[in-house]
Structure 1
Amino acid sequence: MGDLRQALGEDAPNDAEHLNRRLRSLRPDGWEVPTNKDDRTLPVGTYRLDAKGWNPSLGPRPRREAISAGKRRRVFDRDSRRCFICGVGSGEPYPGEPNSQAVLTVGHRIPRELGGSTELDNLQTECKRCNEPVRQELGLPETLAELLPEVRRLRKQELETLLSWLQAGQRIRNRVDAAYDRARQLSVTEREQLVNTLRDMIHGSGAAR
């Protein structure tokens, strides 16, 4: 980074993080510039240019492969319409932030800038905060070989819980959780109607006792 700042001259911003962001912003255009987070053999603060990508002298920027609406619905349905990373649902507040509201999108397990595809196996539901532009700085996701030592330290009951979640494809939620997730997708009017219906059901059940 010091060499880069020197090459850019005195007019370049002297903020190292600003230059880091500018370099990382090249990745969506096909530039491969790994750091120590991608390759531990690199010294901290060093980038390596592996491949040159698009630049304005090459003409119009190539269009990216879009994710179809049908594929987006399949990903959302498969992931129970919750962020695969943090578990938040669409429109829900983040823990400790009652005024926040999560927005879901479809992200790539391995970001496109790191070679990820748009195949279903590489797509997952993510909230905007967990989406891959934020995760690009973390490098490639963890592998099974890296995870197994931690898994082997779990107790039997913890292993059984983890197994049940993996087999279900999600952290297992009870029927009330599932009903709540579905209710949040209703229109405002339908949610109000459901609230009234629930009140009637509870009041009726109470009167019958």
Structure 2
Amino acid sequence: MALPSWTDKKNGSMKRGGLWLITEVGEGNVFTKTQLKEAFPDVAQIDRRVRDLRDFGWRIDTNREDVSLDANEQRFVTQGEPVWEPGKGRAKSNTPITAVQRREIMSKDGHLCRSCGITPGQMYAGTYEAAQLDIARRSVLQANGAQSVQFVTECTRCRVGGRELVADTPRLLSKVRNLGPLERSILASWIAAGEREFSPLETVWAEYQSLAADSRELVRDAVGEGD
């Protein structure tokens, strides 16, 4: 089925924006705000209309998600729902998070990424990149089998990597019930403290796991040598 023309104003600005991305930019490629505005000189807020595509499964990264981009660039990563087709592209029920909600969520989450534990402004290990925190929508499977969306604080890296993940609450509860008394007591202490202290050995293991194959081989050799 042939795509409608992105220049046809009868399609609406969001639909036209999506069609422009597909036909003129292409998945995986970078475009600039200037190029977008030049393509739609008749639409005052075309950048907002293109952002709206994210509500329909489109992935369009800025420099917050892709540090290789500058402030004027965006990357069209993947197409989502074909919003120009009949019955598609209807308004979603998700409403924007207010500034008050954002502050409350971050406060409850301890002002740290709930996935990796990094704090705002903290440098990612081995880089000069400082972490930025944002609010992510997390799909959560409830005990009754229903799926809902909940808000959680995550850094930019984890928020991008976890977009397709669904938190399985029943599975986690089942694992908790299978813990022994000592393990459950330790878990309760971590929950009460809001953090977990890792032993030196666990820290070494985590860093080893993040290495490339050649570096892992060096560590394996060093471990085998002993004292």
**Normalised-by-shorter TM-score class:** 0.3 to 0.5
Q: Which has the higher contact order (CA 8 A, sep 6+)?
A: 1
TM-score, normalised via structure 2 length: 0.41
Relative to the length of structure 1, the TM-score reads 0.44
Would you tell me which structure has more strand in proportion to its own residues?
A: 2
